Structure 1
Amino acid sequence: MLISVPADLVLPHTLGALWHHGKDSLSLSELAMRPHKTLRGHIHYTSSKPGREGVERGREHFTITVHGDGRRTLRAHCEIDDEPNVLRDVTLTKNQNWDTLDAFVRLSLGDEQQGSSWFYFGDTGADCEGWTHERGRFSEHEAYDERPAIFGTHPIQGDAWHLSVIDRSEGPKVHTFDRFLMTSLDHRGATGPSLVWHDPGMIIEFIGEETITVGAGTFDALHFCYGERGSTAQGSNETNEHPPYEVWVTADGEFVLLKAQVTGYMMTQYELVSLEVH
């Protein structure tokens, strides 16, 4: 049986994308009428430390919804097994210019509730309504003259989204960012969540375009590095010095995390092992 498919219809990239919501299949008309696109992925966290090479130390399941007007929402469930274990649920929404609109973060540390907070970003400041184990119930506001380019919520896919703000028009180049806001300065995101400034700023290097293969397949990729590439600095969570962090993301404008690696005291790797696009 032959089916006529409209030329402008984009079908799911995987057959698995056809079996959801209790249906055996989705009709072509249902797919064509959707005003949004959905991406679902799974990232493995593995160790690079001597004696633990390749051992899984965590995982991340994420869903991204991209709306017709360019808004996009990330929903990420993150698990870090290293003691004390971390469980984090994040919902983060950006507008068509990749400006943060709002977010929600719920955090568990050592299998105990650490906190949960809601964040709103306006043109002149950010607001947080939250509760944490240390502070109890709180409300806070951080003013700024212009929206921070980055809001760090700690999913690895969230780190991949930060790279959307890099101007690649001049090719490979090192970019410097001033202070920006995060939910936690802890490298595992294991404190808060609240509004905190990352005052030292950060450098991000755009290295170039590559084609790479990961568990989820072969992709055209953009290669970046947070921090000084090739540096042997060990870094320290106590001093908020992060070791070099190389990241590869999809080159299709969605900035989906493909793989990443951190050296120094962290010695960890991340890899996209599955991806569905609806």
Structure 2
Amino acid sequence: MTGVVRSITGTLQYTSNQAHRAGAERGRESFRLDVHRDGSRVLAAHCEIDDAPAVVRDVNLRLDADNLPRECFVRIAVGGQFRGSGWFSFAADEAQCESTTTIEGRISQRFPLQAPLQAFGNHAIVNDGYAMSLYDLSKGPGKQSFFMLLSSPDHRGATGPMIYPVSLAIEYVGDEEIEVIAGRFKARHFRILDVGMPEEHPDYDLWVSADEHYIVLRATVTGYMQTAYELTRYDVAEH
């Protein structure tokens, strides 16, 4: 008997909403979520952005039984060349990063925490969906503010990886039933607002599965980005 009781695998398609290339594919993502017998989870993803300079990212995030991040690995290539890789660890009072990049060189960071970190952003789209679990649904639709750490302040996650603190707000719009390439799903609609990054981040809408897994079903980013994401395959295996 293995330690994994359920595995969810799938793929996401990245497309453009820009007028001159509406619907054109601009990237893709494959992911795997393993739920372990002790309640912990491991979320892994391989992400590709084709728009120059192309970005390839591999991430692996471990969450404890309380859904708190404990460690994460991030590796990125930009423009077809290795850019950096890093390991992040999260204790109750401190976050750590050990990484190597082709620009900054060897990096060792210690970041003090006032409370256990609730979410870590590694720029995988499926990871953005997991971050929506921060929202306290018992309070109903509305807007709540949060602090989290990122592996990069770049909107495409194409720098570092290294620790970057950020504040943001999550708006819970409500429940819907939506149709995507992978099928029809009950969804929760969230919106990310007021992201405190060096460059203003446009509003970001996400529709995630209406269960404890928060798998991204569809997402859109407005403003200058004009990007869209859609779940194209979804499989569940019980062990």
TM class by shorter chain equals over 0.9
CA contact (8 A) 2:168 2:196 kept: no
2:193 partner amino acid: G
Matches within 5 A, 1:187-226: 187-198=155-166, 201-226=167-192
Gaps of 5+ in 2: none
> How far is the alpha carbon of 1:148 from its aligned partner?
2.6
Matches within 5 A, 1:146-185: 146-178=115-147, 180-185=148-153
CA contact (8 A) 1:127 1:139 kept: yes
Say yes or no: does 1:268 pair with 2:227: yes
Say yes or no: does 1:36 pair with 2:36: no
Q: Quick one: percent identity of the two aligned structures?
A: 42
CA contact (8 A) 2:56 2:77 kept: yes
1:108 partner amino acid: A
Tell me the distance in 2 between the aligned counterparts of 1:52 and 1:155: 23
2:180 partner amino acid: V
The residue number in structure 2 matching 1:64 is 33
1:86 partner amino acid: V
**TM score, norm. by length of structure 2:** 0.95
The residue number in structure 2 matching 1:101 is 70
Structure 1 ranges of 4+ moved more than 3 A:
32-35, 236-239
CA pair 182-35 structure 1, distance change in 2 beyond 3 A: closer
> How far is the alpha carbon of 1:136 from its aligned partner?
1.4
> How far is the alpha carbon of 1:196 from its aligned partner?
1.4
- Cα RMSD for the two superposed structures: 1.8
Equivalent residues, number: 237
> How far is the alpha carbon of 1:165 from its aligned partner?
1.3
2:139 match: secondary structure? coil
CA contact (8 A) 1:186 1:237 kept: no
More strand by proportion, 1 or 2? Answer: 2
Of residues 74, 79, 85, the one that matches 2:48 is: 79
Of residues 85, 88, 110, the one that matches 1:141 is: 110
> How far is the alpha carbon of 1:35 from its aligned partner?
4.3
- Residues 151-206 of structure 1: CA distance to partner in whole angstroms, max 9, x if unpaired? 1100000000001111011211111124x2111000000000011112xx111100
> How far is the alpha carbon of 1:68 from its aligned partner?
1.8
The residue number in structure 2 matching 1:12 is none
CA contact (8 A) 1:98 1:165 kept: no
CA pair 238-72 structure 1, distance change in 2 beyond 3 A: closer
Say yes or no: does 1:92 pair with 2:61: yes
2:227 partner amino acid: T
Tell me the distance in 1 between the aligned counterparts of 2:131 and 2:104: 29
Q: Which structure: larger Rg?
A: 1
CA pair 33-73 structure 1, distance change in 2 beyond 3 A: closer
